[in-house]
Structure formats: structure tokens, C-alpha cells
Structure 1
């Protein structure tokens, strides 16, 4: 009798451990739709250009039968410096689906490690746990033209003023469960394509899609001290509902907005890509020196 009771308890404990393990595997919490725009149109005052774009978007959505509205206007949000890191010549992060980005807003530094895969399970089960008690992680679905879907598992955390990013070993210091670069930890990390990016973001517009909202952000980049915009992106993010799903109506309305954005040919950069891919392509041969 005692043995049976002990086995029963062990089974319960085993299921409890399994449940905890399952709880650590994240599920998709949001979708972010992203389209690059022609940066030349943002010369001047970016917020004014962003709101002219918004007016055109509202008209285009109405013409395409969108049964909702986009309310509010763009206002200045973030003003920060952005660096992406990898090893020149070989790009080990990029080659296996990682990216590492630092943001610095008035001395408030933040580092993010991201892993992306077209397979949701692969991304969800790639551990990117941070080293800080203030680290936050998420799994989201990134969607870019024409219909590219990547599941991104990322963690961001504060970065101390005294911390320099010099070698691949710094990834292990900041994200200790990441072992992919252990064998080459002494290799150097440098800003990808030699870029220091001045990033301005504008937020505010939103659209009620039914249960969840689409929240819009306009991002404008200036590179290496230039006063001329070199990249512009319009994006909108949609969270899952309280049941952890995207309803059919939310999905179809999101797709309509995304299709409408791609159809705004007087604004859209073609071909469109991701900001990260753009950074890697900025310096020809950065990954194959």
C-alpha cells in the first residue's frame, strides 16, 4: 500500500514537472506587419510626412472596403541610437537565424537577442533567456511583403553603461542559456555594416479590428550622422485576444490593411524587406569579406 501511494505521488510530481516545462514554452502573443517605405518622402519633418501617409492610408482602406476606421494621428515617440552586432566576414549570428540589437535612448541602454524561424515550434523552443531580473521575452509572428512569415523569439534587457560589446562571449554573458556561439566565443563583434543608426519613431494611430486593436508605428532611420532619411517603415501590431487566439475577423481585417499598405505604390519601397536585412545589405560584402 505504501509503495502504491509513493508511485502515485511520483506520477503526480512527474506531471507537475512536465507542466512547468510546458509552461516555459511560449506561444505567439502578437503579430506585427511591416512594410518599408521610400525614405526620400520623409525628407523634411517626418511627423508631417507620417500624417500625410496616414491620410492616404485611410482613403485607401475606405476604397478597399475596410469596415473599420483608423483613428488618432502620429506623434513623436522614441529618439534613440541603434546598433546591430555580428562578426564581420562570417556573420555567425545571421547565418543561424539570430540578431542582436542595442538601443540607447539618452543613456538608457537596452540589448535584445532575437531568434527567427519560419517554424513556430523551432523558434518557441530556442531559449533566449536573459541574465537580468528586468529581462522580458516574447514570441511574435513577423509578417513582411509579399507574404513572408517569421516567428521571432526575443528577449530584451537593460544594458549597463560599463558593458562593452566586443566578442561573441558577450552574448553568453548577457543571455547565458545561448550556447550556439560557445565554440567561437573569442571572435569579435562589431556594428553590422559599420552602421550607427539614429532612430525616430512615431506612434498613436489605432484601429479597432474587433476584440483587438491594430496599433501603428512609423519608424525613420538616419545613418552615421546623416540628416537625410535612409530608411522608413510603417508597421502595425495586433495582440492575441484573452483566449490567446486571433479571431477570423481580426485576421481578415489585418490582412486587408497589410494588402492595402502594399498597394500604396507611391509610398512603398520595392522590394520591401526587414530593417535587419536592410542593415546587413547596407555594406556590400560585410558577411563575406
Structure 2
């Protein structure tokens, strides 16, 4: 069991370029709290390891005075291939505040363009509209250790089997309101760090935190065909209420869970980062001129 101290919110000092103001900017629909865990713990039977983590989390929450618990257990959810795209030598996609990710699950391809900023208005007013009638957009508040906050505006849509991603112009083809790369559209767009990621996700556990539930996901990554886990992340998502707000109770209880996880030092990777940051660090020379 791990005792913790309360962490106060902190903001990242970062300015992301190339935002495009537009009418009807979205509002935040959810918060997602994310913590990287030590991947070596998941060397065998990741679902069993995920549930051992859950048992430890339940005990740590009780030790920290949480008057509820996390119910249910982890079960297999997604099994897919993940690619991140950027321009080698410049990483101009990341430099302008975006990320571009493809997920392929048994031939069902989806592409996502995401813009992130510590400023909610900047992110909300950056248009990432997709080209497909089946495109789905959202604005969420991503929170990572120790208390970094990024507002992420993203659109995900189907990607046809025949669509090849080769140049920055493909971003505009798929997300036609995004013009940040128009002047350099001929530059190549390739998988970041040469990485092909085998992603397993596990879901199921929930916790009653007031007007909303916290829904938990465990993610495990394997890099370039390896059978040894390269990354593991525990996350939980909390939706806004029917009135479009996070109540004080929901916020306080979410923060308690988040801080409790960070205090589980036998599980948590330190220093922590994000999955996207890990991808770009995998081969540091990828972004070098």
C-alpha cells in the first residue's frame, strides 16, 4: 500500500503554432489521466499482470482514504498495429503541435489527426475536420505526471485499404481544413522512428467517483515484432456530466486516483512521459536534420 501527498495542478510552458480559428469550437467532453508503468512487469500474461496491478491499486486507494473502490477486472479489448507518421529530419508534424496515428485492427484501418496545446481555447479553435462522413471528433483534457495538462483536439476516421501515406500532402487530403503543411506538402511522411507497434489493450474496471464513472484501460506495446513489452500505460477516462461540467467531487476523486497511481512506485516508470513522446525518443536521430 502506498501513501501519497496531494499534487497541485501545473501547466506546461509551451506554445503550439498553426491554429485556425473557426466558429462553433467544441467543448471538453472528457478527461483522461495517463501514467506509464514499467514494461518489464508485463513480460508474461499481460492481462494477469494488469489484474495484479488492479489489486494493488484497490489496496492503495483504501490506504489513502478512498471511500469507494475499482470494480470488475481487466479483459482483452483491442489487438492492433499502430503507426505514427512524421517527416524525417524535421518532425514538422510534431513541431507544429500535431500528431498523426494509424491503427489497423485485422484490416480495419483508422487514421487520427490530433492537435494538442496547454491552452484549451487554442486547441478547441484548431480545426481538424476529417474528409469522411464517418469521421468522429473530440476535445479532451489529457493529464500526465506529475500534473501536466494538454487539451487534445482530434479527429479519427476510416482509412481505405488503397490509401498510401507518403507525403505531407496526405494530411490535407484526409483532413482538408488543415493547412499548416501546405507550403511543404511534398516533404515525405513516414512511420516515426521506423516503428511498427503491436498494441494490446485491456478494459473493464470502473470506479464510481460521483456523478460519473472512471473507466480504466491498460495498454501494452511491443515494438517491431518483439515479444518483449516495450511500453505499458494505465489510464482512466472521466466524461463530463449531462450539464457539460466536471463537478468538484468528480475532480477531487479523479485526482486522488491519479495521485495514488503515481505513488505506486513499484509499478510506475520514472521519469514518466507519454506514449507519443516515447515513439519519438525510440530513434532520436529520426528528427535530426
TM-score of the two chains, using structure 2 as the length reference: 0.92
Deviation at 1:22, TM superposition (A): 8.2
Q: Which residue of 2 aligns with 1:67?
A: 67
- The answer to whether 1:227 aligns with 2:215 is no
Change (3 A) 1:23 1:206: farther
Q: Which residue of 2 aligns with 1:152?
A: 152
Distance 2:167 2:103 in 1: 18
Q: Which residue of 2 aligns with 1:263?
A: 263
Q: Which residue of 1 aligns with 2:136?
A: 136
Aligned pairs for 1:42-121 within 5 A:
42-121=42-121
Structure 2, unpaired ranges of 5+: 1-20
- The answer to whether 1:34 aligns with 2:37 is no
Deviation at 1:198, TM superposition (A): 0.1
Deviation at 1:71, TM superposition (A): 0.2
Q: Which residue of 2 aligns with 1:213?
A: 213
Distance 2:115 2:155 in 1: 9
Structure 1, unpaired ranges of 5+: 1-20
- The answer to whether 1:286 aligns with 2:261 is no
Distance 1:258 1:287 in 2: 32
TM-score of the two chains, using structure 1 as the length reference: 0.92
Distance 2:84 2:123 in 1: 20
Residue by residue over 1:141-172, the C-alpha shift from the partner in whole angstroms, topping out at 9 and shown as x without a partner, is 00000010000000000000000010000000
Deviation at 1:96, TM superposition (A): 1.1
Name the larger-Rg structure. 1
For structure 1, which segment, 278-287 or 134-143, has the greater mean C-alpha deviation from structure 2 after superposition? 278-287
Change (3 A) 1:174 1:22: closer
SS at match of 2:285: coil
Residue by residue over 1:7-54, the C-alpha shift from the partner in whole angstroms, topping out at 9 and shown as x without a partner, is xxxxxxxxxxxxxx9872100000000000000000010000000000
Higher helix fraction (1 or 2)? 1
Deviation at 1:197, TM superposition (A): 0.1
Distance 1:68 1:140 in 2: 25
RMSD between superposed Cα atoms in Å: 1.0
Aligned positions, number: 269
Q: Which residue of 2 aligns with 1:168?
A: 168
Aligned pairs for 1:234-245 within 5 A:
234-245=234-245
Distance 1:204 1:128 in 2: 30
